[in-house]
Amino acid sequence: MSQVPEFKIARFGIQAPFIFAKDPLLAIRKGFDTCGDTFRLKLFREILVSRDPAFFKHILVTNNKNYKKGSSSKMLNPVLGNGLVTSEGDFWLRQRRLVQPAFHRERLQELFVTMGTITAAFLDEMEEFRGKAAVDIDAKMMGITADIALRTLFGNISNEDKMQIYHQVNRTQKYLVSRVRRPYRIPLMAVNGEQSRFKTDIAYFNKLVFEFIRQRHDSVEKPNDLLQLLLDSLDEETGARMNDQQIRDEAITMFAAGHETSATGLSWLLLELAKQPAIVAKMRREATIFDIVPTFDQLMKLSYTRQVIEEGMRLFPPAWTMTREALTDDKVGSQSFSKGISIMMSIYELHRNPNIWDNPLVFDPENFSLEQVKNREKFNYLPFGAGPRLCIGQQFAMMEMQLILASLIKRFDFEIDPAHKVGIYPQIVLKSVNGIKLFVK
């Protein structure tokens, strides 16, 4: 039995957290280049980092009961509460059963009508930028996916309320990421106004969401949205319903965990497609089956567009990492590790691992042809995770991304702004540093 090799990120241990916080992706890549597919890294605590599919399979499926969510996921509790992303054990399982019907195929078809209406209006808005200065496409994708998420959640929500929720959720997430990545800044946050602003945002945000829930309780109408489904959900074993706090937590989890991942995936895809005229041409030939936006049945026929999206999530997985913590000593193959160690499973590096992908840095939708998918090991590609905690909203996300991307590519060309440098900096999702600016043609 061997211990997992250690990668020393810096000559002096005290430097390691600062170097890692500055560029996590570079630090992790150096670790893999030096130590192979699994290594240990000492920051504020010891972390095991892996891009080995065998580790993913063992931790997420084979021995998943020996692991709990990593401590970094708990940082989201002030925003997400005890929703599906952050909860554990029997409570998580009960909530999963209650929320699951929201994502059945029949419900998704109903929600698709709302998605299509919003997307068609968004295309008209994008016309304003045709032939003008480069636009921050990341901001535009965040806008439309937030609109879709909030309309499918809360029905006829006002534009003012949409903007309040959108800005406050994103601002509070950035604050919490900063606390985890740079804990040495916490005392400063207490005096420079960041902590106070965070508390004010949360209080206002909660007041708004609980008011939506109260209004729905008082109404005789039952709109066709996800909030109503959460209100109506019934535990088949106990007959119990979710209380208002649980409804709030699951609704905000759906929004926060859903819209930003889709937006980020679309932004990286549009940047990549601006370099890929042959792929764009093939997508347009496929898009001749619809006029402005596809219907649900037409969407199911856009198989090449789906391949493009899957390849985009291979190179730029929005959920770039997953974390767990070992409840007991364990081993994978010949490598052993101790109880309590934090485990970072790098989806980003798994999808770029040269040991399992040919030409891993080349954007190639043929990686997701039927033949390639059939012959690929399941744990080589995990944009939505795996095992019992497989992302509950994956079909919603794929449907949304396919609809928006197919509609945009049919109507517009996108060109890179050479004056704008794009960098990657992973936060909760795989974000760009300064946005992604593209010309709309």
Residue 160 — very low, low, confident or very high, per pLDDT cuts 50/70/90?
A: confident
Among 48-62, 84-98, 178-192, name the one with the lowest average pLDDT.
178-192
Q: Please compute the mean of the pLDDT values over residues 256-260 and round it to a whole number.
A: 81
Separation between Cα atoms, residue 280 and residue 284, nearest integer Å = 6
pLDDT for residue 438 is more than 60: yes
| Chain mean pLDDT for the chain | 90
Give residue 1's pLDDT: 55
Q: Please compute the mean of the pLDDT values over residues 31-41 and round it to a whole number.
A: 95
pLDDT for residue 148 is more than 60: yes
Domain that holds residue 318: 2-440
Q: Please compute the mean of the pLDDT values over residues 85-91 and round it to a whole number.
A: 88
- What pLDDT digit, counting tens, does each position of 163-213 carry? 777 777 777 777 877 777 677 788 888 888 888 888 888 888 888 889 989
Angle between helices 137-154 and 394-411 (to 10 degrees): 130
Using a cut of 0.85, tell me whether the model's pTM lies above it: yes
Give residue 249's pLDDT: 92
Separation between Cα atoms, residue 92 and residue 94, nearest integer Å = 5
The token pair that represents 69 in the structure block: 């969510």
Q: What angle do CA 325, 326, 327 make, to 5 degrees?
A: 115
66: phi > 0 → left, psi -120 to 50 → alpha, else beta; which? alpha
Separation between Cα atoms, residue 412 and residue 123, nearest integer Å = 9
Among 78-82, 123-127, 149-153, 358-362, name the one with the lowest average pLDDT.
78-82
Q: Please compute the mean of the pLDDT values over residues 334-343 and round it to a whole number.
A: 90
Give residue 72's pLDDT: 65
* Range picked from 294-308, 323-337, 420-434 for highest mean pLDDT: 294-308
pLDDT for residue 304 is more than 70: yes
Residue with tokens 């916490």: 186
Separation between Cα atoms, residue 346 and residue 28, nearest integer Å = 9
How far does Cα 86 stand from its chain's mean position?
Answer: 14
The token pair that represents 248 in the structure block: 């709030």
Q: Please compute the mean of the pLDDT values over residues 255-264 and round it to a whole number.
A: 87
Q: Please compute the mean of the pLDDT values over residues 48-71 and round it to a whole number.
A: 92
Q: Which regions of 237-286 does DSSP assign to beta strands (E)? A: none
How many domains are there within the chain?
Answer: 1
For residue 290, give the CATH number of its domain: 1.10.630.10
Q: Are 346 and 50 in contact (CB under 8 A)?
A: yes
pLDDT for residue 40 is more than 90: yes
